């Protein structure tokens, strides 16, 4: 199914004051922004609005509730190669004046919405006050669409609300990959916590032909199969669920592939006594930190096709060199396969970005939690709040 919501191209924005909920939630170190992936993704919508002569008011949160968006506004100006003004408040008479003084092609960034607790509380009066700054609302922060916050679901009650081009691209790409994939559809999953990944795994199992489970998540499955896991991260309260998923997969005639060898250590920081061993030989003091080469070698059938590969979750503690081999090898295999590759989830995207591999995949989602929700078959409140295409 195509994207069902109206987009910024379905509405007349010429000369209008357009509030864009955009993604300025980027890592800031010593006041500097090195990773501009999200700002690049925000660009097409803003540029489209400028082409149309709109007056643009950008609003966003930063996960750090005390972090000003001022340095992000400056970085955005560089990315856009266009003047961007910043005002250090969200609701004030200064903002009102600045918004009323906007001319076509002006871009104004307001302060971090989370300076106000009302944002996360989805406070109606707060949403209504924000809505008063514009004539039209454009939702273009895919990364936040799983949050039912005032700027995402409150403002659309008061203004015509449509999707931005970045949001449309994300939702459309992920939905199509799951609903109409080029077959076979393979999922490579991993990451630390089974509890956050179980929904995605259950949903993906209905869609995919094969699944590989790596990362710490695999430990819980190995424990469910009665394998020794030593001092590895295992979610004991999820073992029954892991067993249920293994049974469901078996009943559906699908295989969940698990590691056959692992990289273990007796300490993670600094890495001590690092060895690669069979999953049957994990000692009681061992901590599983990555998958081994034999595991990767046995996954060839998952990569040797021209279908679709969805990758969500690293294979090990990739931030530590000694434990990054599995994740690097998975990335290489996916890149050199002939398949369409889609990467989602915060940690996996961090890995891909830090390794400079972003352009090697067909699509890398900007969203962590939001892409997980979508890949779990859930609706995103920030998308649901927008106008339907046929309305
Ligand atoms: C993200 O970075 O995943 C989104 O922008 C959401 O941020 P949050 O987890 O602080 O709500």
Residue pLDDT, tens place only, 310-328: 999 999 999 999 999 999 9
**106 backbone dihedrals φ, ψ, rounded to 5°:** -80, 145
Residue 247 in 3-state DSSP? helix
Measured in Å, residue 250 CA sits from the centre of ligand 1 at 35
What whole-number distance in Å separates Cα of residue 343 and Cα of residue 358?
9
Measured in Å, residue 189 CA sits from the centre of ligand 1 at 21
Q: Flag whether pLDDT at 1 surpasses 70.
A: no
Burial class (CB in 10 A: 0-12, 13-18, 19+), 176: middle
* Per-residue buried b or exposed e for 205-228, using 16+ beta carbons within 10 Å of the residue's own CB: bebbbbbbbbbbbbbbbbbbeebe
Note the pLDDT of residue 199.
Answer: 77
Q: Which atom of ligand 1 is nearest to the CA of 147?
A: 11
**342 backbone dihedrals φ, ψ, rounded to 5°:** -125, 125
Instruction: Determine which residue's CA is closest to atom 7 belonging to ligand 1.
Output: 63
What whole-number distance in Å separates Cα of residue 361 and Cα of residue 370?
19
Of residues 193, 207, 360, 389, which has the active-site annotation? 193
Mean pLDDT, residues 58-85: 97
To the query of whether residue 253 is one of the catalytic residues in this protein, the response is no
Sheet holding 261-265, edge to edge: 275-278, 261-265, 287-291
Give, for ligand 1, the residue of 368, 372, 374 to mutate: max count of ligand atoms closer than 8 Å to Cβ.
368
Are the beta carbons of 66 and 27 closer than 8 angstroms? no
Structure confidence by residue, pLDDT tens digits, 238-258: 999 999 999 989 998 888 999
My answer on whether omega of the bond before 270 falls inside 30° of 0, hence cis, is: yes
What tokens were used for 359?
């352009």
What whole-number distance in Å separates Cα of residue 314 and Cα of residue 324?
9
Measured in Å, residue 144 CA sits from the centre of ligand 1 at 6
Above pLDDT 90, what percent of the chain? 83
Of residues 6, 16, 38, 333, which has the active-site annotation? 38
Which residue ranges have their beta carbon within 6 Å of ligand 1? 25, 63, 143-144, 147, 368-369
To the query of whether residue 166 is one of the catalytic residues in this protein, the response is no
Measured in Å, residue 346 CA sits from the centre of ligand 1 at 9
Q: Which residues pair with 276 in a beta bridge?
A: 263
Note the pLDDT of residue 227.
Answer: 97
Using DSSP bridges, classify how beta strands 267-268 and 271-272 pair: parallel, antiparallel or unpaired: antiparallel
- What does pTM read for this prediction? 0.90
Mean residue pLDDT of the chain comes to: 94
Structure confidence by residue, pLDDT tens digits, 132-145: 999 999 999 999 99
Give, for ligand 1, the residue of 143, 146, 344, 353 to mutate: max count of ligand atoms closer than 8 Å to Cβ.
143
Q: What is the CA radius of gyration of the chain?
A: 23
Are the beta carbons of 39 and 169 closer than 8 angstroms? no
Q: Which atom of ligand 1 is nearest to the CA of 61?
A: 5
Tell me how far CA of residue 240 lies from CA of 210, 212, 223, in angstroms: 21, 19, 10
pLDDT band at 71 (very low <50, low <70, confident <90, very high): very high
Above pLDDT 70, what percent of the chain? 99
**343 backbone dihedrals φ, ψ, rounded to 5°:** -115, 130
To the query of whether residue 369 is one of the catalytic residues in this protein, the response is yes
Residue with tokens 């352009």: 359
Q: Which atom of ligand 1 is nearest to the CA of 63?
A: 10
Q: Which atom of ligand 1 is nearest to the CA of 367?
A: 3
Measured in Å, residue 23 CA sits from the centre of ligand 1 at 9
E strands present in 153-312: 161-163, 185-189, 210-213, 255-257, 261-265, 267-268, 271-272, 275-278, 287-291, 308-312
What whole-number distance in Å separates Cα of residue 58 and Cα of residue 113?
11
Nearest residue to 324 via CA among 297, 347, 299, 304: 347
Structure confidence by residue, pLDDT tens digits, 345-369: 888 988 998 899 999 999 999 988 8
Are the beta carbons of 372 and 200 closer than 8 angstroms? yes
Mean pLDDT, residues 108-117: 98
Give, for ligand 1, the residue of 24, 37, 61 to mutate: max count of ligand atoms closer than 8 Å to Cβ.
61
To the query of whether residue 346 is one of the catalytic residues in this protein, the response is yes
- Segments in 105-229 forming alpha helices (H): 117-120, 124-131, 165-179, 194-207, 215-224
Measured in Å, residue 6 CA sits from the centre of ligand 1 at 24
Specify the length of the chain in residues: 391
Note the pLDDT of residue 193.
Answer: 72
């Amino acid at each position: 199914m195509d994207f069902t919501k109206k987009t910024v191209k379905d509405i007349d924005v010429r000369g209008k004051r357009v509030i864009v909920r955009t993604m300025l939630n980027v890592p800031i170190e010593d006041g500097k922004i090195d990773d501009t992936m999200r700002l690049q993704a925000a660009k097409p919508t803003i540029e489209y609005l400028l082409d149309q002569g709109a007056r643009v008011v950008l609003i966003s949160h930063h996960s750090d509730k005390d972090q000003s968006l001022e340095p992000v506004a400056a970085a955005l100006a560089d990315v856009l190669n266009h003047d961007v003004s910043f005002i250090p408040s969200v609701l004030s008479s200064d903002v009102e004046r600045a918004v009323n003084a906007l001319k076509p092609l002006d871009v104004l960034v307001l302060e971090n919405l989370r300076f106000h607790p009302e944002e996360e509380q989805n406070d109606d009066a707060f949403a209504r006050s924000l809505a008063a700054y514009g004539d039209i609302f454009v939702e273009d922060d895919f990364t936040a669409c799983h949050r039912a916050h005032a700027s995402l679901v409150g403002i659309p009650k008061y203004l015509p609300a449509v999707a931005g081009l970045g949001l449309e691209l994300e939702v459309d790409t992920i939905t199509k990959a799951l609903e109409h994939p080029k077959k076979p559809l393979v999922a490579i999953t991993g990451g630390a916590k089974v509890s956050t990944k179980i929904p995605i795994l259950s949903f993906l199992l209905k869609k995919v032909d094969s699944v590989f489970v790596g990362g710490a998540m695999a430990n819980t499955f190995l424990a469910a199969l009665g394998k020794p896991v030593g001092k590895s991260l295992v979610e004991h309260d999820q073992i029954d669920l892991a067993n249920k998923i293994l049974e469901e997969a078996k009943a559906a005639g699908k295989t969940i592939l698990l590691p056959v060898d692992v990289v273990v250590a007796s300490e993670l920081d600094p890495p001590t006594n690092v060895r690669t061993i069979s999953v049957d030989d994990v000692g009681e003091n061992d901590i599983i930190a990555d998958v081994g080469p034999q595991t990767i070698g046995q996954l060839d059938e998952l990569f040797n096709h021209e279908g679709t590969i969805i990758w969500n979750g690293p294979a090990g503690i990739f931030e530590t060199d000694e434990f990054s081999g599995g994740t690097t090898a998975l990335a290489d295999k996916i890149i050199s396969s002939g398949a369409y590759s889609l990467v989602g989830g915060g940690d996996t995207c961090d890995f891909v970005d830090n390794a400079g591999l972003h352009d090697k995949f067909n699509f890398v989602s900007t969203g962590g939690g939001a892409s997980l929700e979508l890949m779990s078959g859930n609706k995103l409140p920030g998308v649901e709040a927008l106008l339907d295409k046929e309305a």
